[in-house]
Amino acid sequence: MNKLILNPGREKSLKRRHPWVFSGAVSRISGTPASGETLEVHSSDGEFLALAAYSPQSQILARVWDWRRRDIDAAFFRERIAAALALRARLLPDCPAMRLLHAESDGLPGVVADRYGDVVVLQLSSAGAMYWRETIADALFELARPATIFERSDSDVLTREGLKPVTGLLRGFPPPAPLIVDESGLKFEVDVDGGHKTGFYLDQRANRSAVRALAANCEVLDCFCYTGGFSVSALAGGAATVTAMDSSGPALELLKRNVAHNELAQPECLEGDVFQMLRKLRDQARKFDLIVLDPPKFAPTVAHAEKASRAYKDINLLAFKLLRPGGLLFTFSCSGGVSRELFQKIVAGAALDAGVDAQIVGHMSPGADHPVALAFPEGDYLKGLTCRVAIAQACA
């Protein structure tokens, strides 16, 4: 078998079971492995460390499939997929819309699958995942038993691996149009073909329910609303008004349809840049009781953390200024390059500069369908804080 040999001393992260081999750690590769093929990873003194998939064009030159010597074959993928499905069956029974396969954290680097009722959307993003594409699709089709597997292998990560995007029907029947799924008793239309990621942000399910539970009689501002996950939840929770903001016209159109699917009153929709629109609302002296800030990934890696920190601080500062005393802020970062600790510091700095006292009343994460392997802290990408602005400001 082809071998990848590490530079001296570079086996430490693999011994801690972190599944990525960076190109800088590699001394040489013996043989001529094809893109995506399985390699044995060895330390400089010849110790076997792992079996990994070769990504010749990526900074992450190999991603670990297993830590033991075994066959990486159809049985391997069936085993991993069955284990991931068993976790969901135990922790999220009867949940029609959820993530079935969460890449590294389910022992399947580069493999994401989301279930929307009878439709499963598969997103492959590494050379190794693409190499095993048919095998993965067969195993998932057989074990999860959906009517459809639709492929959305078109993420940035995939193109960085030097691979061509692939989208379209992969197994079963074409997805129904429109595809409407149930989340916590609410109906959402999901655009699996053209939407972000696999069509919907399943990682916010529990946090949308938290907003719904606290929105009664509130004037709500939903920033970066996409197709209205938080807006619809707030309206269903009895919000007095909802203002929804996003730069994407098509996302706002889908938001309006989602509000209609649930027979709720249409919110105020503002299309444009949230950074500018928050300033405008501040200048108009608008006030809200509950604000959601769920921006896109400002810092994909630690290298972008500083610039991202300024952007997070800016929107959080403006949000604090727009909240009434006693108001609630649900603020998120889905940046892998911003840790929970750093995010909390940024939000604290924003409150300070906005001149408000606030408390953290909740820490948020995705649900159990987005597990985080303990050896893979990068899996903990979505972090959120619920903050409450003090009713009476403390004396200076």
Query: Which CB, 166 or 206, lies closer to ligand SAH?
Result: 206
CB-based contact 225:251 (threshold 8 Å): yes
CB of 223 to ligand SAH, least distance (A): 7
Does position 225 bind ligand SAH by CB under 6 A?
Answer: yes
Among the listed ranges 45-53, 92-100, 273-281, 383-391, the one in contact with ligand SAH (CB under 6 A) is: 273-281
Nearest distance, CB of residue 389 and ligand SAH, angstroms: 21
Task: Give catalytic status of residue 387 as yes or no.
Answer: no
Closest CA to 308 of 355, 344, 346: 346
Do 290 and 328 contact (CB within 8 A), yes or no?
yes
CB of 311 to ligand SAH, least distance (A): 9
Measured at the CA of 102, the angle between CA 99 and CA 103, to 5 degrees, comes to 150
What mask, x for binding ligand SAH by CB under 6 A, covers residues 276 to 305? ------------------x-x---------
Query: Which residue, 55 or 227, has its beta carbon nearer to ligand SAH?
Result: 227
Catalytic residue selected from 95, 218, 269, 334: 334
Size of the chain in residues: 396
> CB neighbours (10 Å) of residue 353?
14
Using DSSP, state whether 294 is helix, strand or coil. coil
Q: Please name the residue ranges forming H helices in the chain.
A: 12-15, 74-91, 127-131, 133-144, 156-160, 205-214, 229-236, 249-261, 274-283, 305-322, 340-354
Cβ proximity to ligand SAH, 40 vs 314, nearer residue? 314
For residue 184, state whether it binds ligand SAH (rule: CB under 6 A).
Answer: no
- Using the rule CB under 6 A, which residue among 246, 278, 293, 331 binds ligand SAH? 246
- Which CB atom, from 11 or from 246, has the smaller least distance to ligand SAH? 246
Q: Which range, of 54-62, 133-141, 162-170, 246-254, touches ligand SAH by CB under 6 A?
A: 246-254
Q: Which of 226, 288, 330, 343 touches ligand SAH by CB under 6 A? A: 226
CA separation for the pair 46, 41 (Å, rounded): 9
Burial 132-159 (b: 16+ CB within 10 A, else e): bbebbbbbbbebbebebbbbbbebebbe
Lookup: tokens for 250: 């098509």
Q: Would you say 306 and 342 are in contact if contact means Cβ atoms under 8 Å apart?
A: no
Active site residues: 334
Question: Which residues of the chain form contacts with ligand SAH (CB under 6 A)?
Answer: 201, 204, 224-227, 229-230, 246-248, 251, 273-275, 294, 296
